[in-house]
Amino acid sequence: MKVLVTGTAGFIGFHTALKLLRRGDEVVGLDNINDYYDPRVKFGRLELSGIDASAIEYGKLTRSKTYENYRFIKLDLSDKEGIDRLFAAEKFDRVCNLAAQAGVRYSLTNPQAYIDANITGFLNILEACRANPVEHLAYASSSSVYGLNTDMPFSVHRPVDHPISLYAASKKSNELMAHTYSHLFGIPTTGLRFFTVYGEWGRPDMALFIFTKAILEGRAIEVFNGGKMRRDFTYIADIVEGVVRVIDRPAKPAADFDSSKPDCATSSAPYRVYNIGNSAPVELMSFIEALEESLGKKAVKNLLPMQPGDVPATFADTSDLERDLGYKPATPIKTGIANFVKWYREFYRV
């Protein structure tokens, strides 16, 4: 298969591209390599994929030195002409859109970045798929779409109309936009609601990374909501396994879809939404304890109130994923955290 994976200088996109490459798919990776967080981590991921930083030129494909089936292009999703040109030239079989402006807190201060990358950018992907038909478009949504919902575990079959950050609203918008294109133009689309992903080559703006850095440097860590937050932390290898299985299985119209009682996760159009989460929420304090154990060092904790935009708990109902893809994330946090710490120490030589 010839697959476009966007966001391949990013955490999930990098791991997804590697998995597809290792099984022999032809992959084009795309990223604008922005500086939302330390670009050295992004260039490190690209380097490991065989993409030489000095060979990268905006709008031009670079071939990997490690994987002959991998090419990378530095391109912005909001660059409509560039996206159109790429799709017309490459004629992808499948597309996996993981590039986005991520992060809940940043969306409170930088709302425009979310409109540019997640709304305009996603529209450009949809339009390009319309002009150059693909067998399947899989794209990242987020557990943050559950917003004010406290009906646990979170089910894809219940409405999500109460986002509490513009980030969440942009992800919910992606699901609505995808449905429209699935209905109007028959593009098979699957949205993936990821639940707090962690692991090696993880994101420097996320708790595990920030905590690890602070603990190793002997600084206090900021623990929001007094550590009483519960998160369905999901290990990167589990996420990527799910993403690849989803790419392989184009969405189909649901034969039993009843428009008088419309199910939120399916449609008469080739449209689906899945949760991908560990389905075993862990209290933030326990997560910190597992990290302390892995690092062999105690954290100094600065307990703080809840942050605006944050939700107190997440918990994925993954029964659809299990039924349709025969799969369920299962890596325990101790294993995942130990793998992260090993990577962190090697990358930063600490």
Ligand X SMILES: NC(=O)c1ccc[n+]([C@@H]2O[C@H](COP(=O)([O-])OP(=O)(O)OC[C@H]3O[C@@H](n4cnc5c(N)ncnc54)[C@H](O)[C@@H]3O)[C@@H](O)[C@H]2O)c1
Shortest reach from residue 20's CB to ligand X, in Å: 15
Of the pair 186, 348, the CB lying nearest ligand X is at: 348
Q: Supply the angle between the helices 207-217 and 333-348 in degrees, to the nearest 10.
A: 60
Pattern 51-90, binding to ligand X, x per CB under 6 A? -------------------------xxx------------
Of the pair 12, 282, the CB lying nearest ligand X is at: 12
Of the pair 205, 320, the CB lying nearest ligand X is at: 205
- Report the residue from 20, 28, 140, 156 that binds ligand X according to the rule CB under 6 A: 140
Residue from 167, 181, 198, 235 carrying the catalytic annotation: 167
Closest CA to 155 of 266, 320, 281: 320
Pattern 11-40, binding to ligand X, x per CB under 6 A? xxx-----------------xxxx------
- Two structure tokens written together for 205: 């703006």
Closest residue to ligand X, Cβ-based?
10
Question: Is residue 169 involved in binding ligand X (CB under 6 A)?
Answer: no
CA distance 185 to 269: 9
Shortest reach from residue 48's CB to ligand X, in Å: 14
Of the pair 90, 253, the CB lying nearest ligand X is at: 90
CA distance 133 to 218: 53
Of the pair 256, 341, the CB lying nearest ligand X is at: 341
Torsion, CA 236, CA 240, CA 242, CA 248, rounded to 10: 180
Shortest reach from residue 101's CB to ligand X, in Å: 5
Shortest reach from residue 103's CB to ligand X, in Å: 8
From first CA to last CA, the distance across the chain in angstroms is: 40
DSSP assignment, residue 53?
G
- Two structure tokens written together for 81: 């002409």
Question: Is residue 4 involved in binding ligand X (CB under 6 A)?
Answer: no
Which range touches ligand X (CB under 6 A), out of 153-161, 179-187, 195-203, 246-254?
195-203
Are the CB atoms for 34 and 58 separated by under 8 Å? no
Are the CB atoms for 77 and 124 separated by under 8 Å? yes
| DSSP calls for 91-130 | --SEEEE------STHHHH-HHHHIIIIIIHHHHHHHHHH
- Two structure tokens written together for 21: 């490459």
Question: Is residue 173 involved in binding ligand X (CB under 6 A)?
Answer: no
CA distance 96 to 114: 19
β-partners of residue 2 are 26
- The letter for the amino acid at 147 is G
Pattern 93-112, binding to ligand X, x per CB under 6 A? -----xxxxx----------
**Alpha carbons within 13 A on the beta-carbon side of 163:** 17
Clarify whether 235 is annotated catalytic.
no
Instruction: List residues binding ligand X (CB under 6 A).
Output: 7, 9-13, 31-34, 42, 76-78, 98-102, 117, 121, 140, 142, 194, 196-197, 203
Annotated catalytic residues are: 167
